[in-house]
Structure 1
Amino acid sequence: MTGAEAVGSGNLVMGRCVIAGKSACVLYDSKATHSFVSESYVQRLGLPVCELQCDLVVSTPASGLELEVILGMDWLSANRILIVCCEKSLLFPNSEEPELLSSHDVMKELQNGAQCFLIFTHLVVEGEGMICVIPVVQEFEDVK
Structure 2
Amino acid sequence: MWRTDADLRCWDLSLDPSDRLVGSLWGADPEASNLGSVGFARTVTPESWLSTWSGLSSNASLNKTSHAIEQPLLLIEYTGDNCVFPGDVNKIYADIPSSNKRRFKVRGNHHGQALEDGEEPGQWIAGSHLQQWLNDTF
Q: TM-score, normalised by structure 2?
A: 0.21
As a proportion of its length, which structure holds more helix? 2
Q: TM-score, normalised by structure 1?
A: 0.20
